[in-house]
Homo-oligomer: A and B are copies of this chain.
Amino acid sequence: MANPRSRTRPAHSAGVTLQQVAQHAGVSLATASRVLHGSGSRTVGEELRRRVEAAAEELRYVSNAPAQALARATSSVVGLIVHDVADPYFGAIAAGAMRAAREQRLMVMIAATFREPGLELAYLRGLRAQRARAVILAGSGTVDAEATAQLAEEIAGFEADGGRVVCVGERGPDLDTVAMANRTGGGLAVRGLWELGHRRIGVVSGPPELLTVRHRLDGARRALRGLGVPAAEDAIEAGDFTREGGRAAAVRLLRAHPDLTAVLVLNDVMAAGALGGLRDDLGLAVPDQVSVVGYDDVPFAADLRPALSTVRLPLEAAGAAAVGLLLEPRGDEPRRVDLPAELVLRASTAAPPD
């Protein structure tokens, strides 16, 4: 009995080339190309056009993108480099980017560095090899000068080859970027807490080498200082940008500063951990004893209990904006899209206890 998998297929279908389609239609290769992939400026007569289309359909022709890329010296793939696809922050950005990409009929090649330093560079190189038309650098920049310089060189090379690079989040002044309101948002959170009556505010921070963290922290600190909040400087604990990191850092923070009435956690994933740590490890009630504000407003933030107050960033819009940016012709000046942050107050914040 015939194995269903080896079911015989019409001889056509496997590796059909444009040449074969042309032959089948009784036209030249050039004409077939013009009909099927033509840039439009050149027209083909109605009759031939029909014949070519019929032949393509009949033969089940599928164009060969690498061959096209080679001949055209440009492709329709864009790269997207993130730290971790499973992280909802990047998931949302990726979703936005992919939606936009679809509208432009672009394919997206995604790479996750899993926060391994050298990998971003390696992937950028890989994408360059693929002759991606553009790449979106979605992960946070770093404070490491060496790494930044290497990356800058690779980016320059990529652009010299005609590719476009767009960053989500600031990386450097001469790159096209979709800027997230990180500084502003940090200030927003602090001021929100202040308005609720909090005067002793701590911060659970992320890896200090990340630019994103630095900016958020910066905004928070500045606001704290501006408001004259005392002891602000040392009521900061850093941890990994993970649930566990947030949990541990929050516990450390409140052990060291039991008088804090509010804490700003620099990302929602950490905040989820912090919420757990405060309650389970420290027996603190949120928001009755301590208020907590997160950052990002990832989808599950509203599902946490208490529902997480947080600084909302338009993540999907950022992804979409990045794609928008890389479609525009490159300008003389680096382009920049600024996206706003917004403080969303939910149930994890309240007035401080008396």
Chain A residues with CB under 8 Å of chain B are 3-5, 7, 9-10, 13-15, 60, 62-67, 69-70, 73, 75, 77, 84-88, 91-92, 94-95, 98-99, 102, 107-112, 114, 119, 125-131, 156-157, 159-162, 174, 243, 272-273, 275-276, 299-300, 303-305, 316, 332, 334
Contacts and interface: CB of A to CB of B under 8 A. Distances in A.
Contacts of A273: 303
Contact of A65 (B88, B107, B114, B130): B130
Given A62-B125, A129-B64, A112 B91 contact: no
Contacts of A10: 160
> Which of A15, A130, A332 has the most B CB atoms < 10 Å from its CB?
A130
A159 B3 CA distance: 15
Contacts of A86: 88, 91-92, 94-95, 299, 316
23 contacts: A4-B174, A5-B159, A5-B334, A13-B156, A60-B157, A64-B70, A66-B75, A66-B131, A70-B70, A85-B91, A85-B98, A86-B299, A87-B91, A95-B112, A98-B111, A99-B112, A99-B114, A102-B119, A107-B126, A107-B127, A108-B109, A273-B303, A304-B305
Contacts of A125: 62
B161 A62 contact: yes
A183 to B, nearest CB: 23
Contacts of A114: 99
> Which of A84, A112, A174 has the most B CB atoms < 10 Å from its CB?
A112
Contacts of A107: 109, 111, 126-127, 130
B73 A5 contact: yes
Contacts of A91: 85-88, 91
Nearest to A158: B62
Contacts of A300: 88, 272, 300, 303
Given A243-B299, A272-B303, 5 more contacts: A9-B160, A15-B162, A65-B130, A86-B94, A108-B109
Nearest to A119: B102
A71 B30 CA distance: 21
Contacts of A94: 85-86, 110
A120 to B, nearest CB: 12
Contacts of A62: 125, 128-129, 157, 161
A190 B142 CA distance: 48
B299 A275 contact: no
A10 B156 CA distance: 11
A60 B158 CA distance: 11
B73 A130 contact: no
A232 to B, nearest CB: 28
B13 A157 contact: yes
A3 to B, nearest CB: 7
Contacts of A66: 65-67, 69-70, 75, 130-131
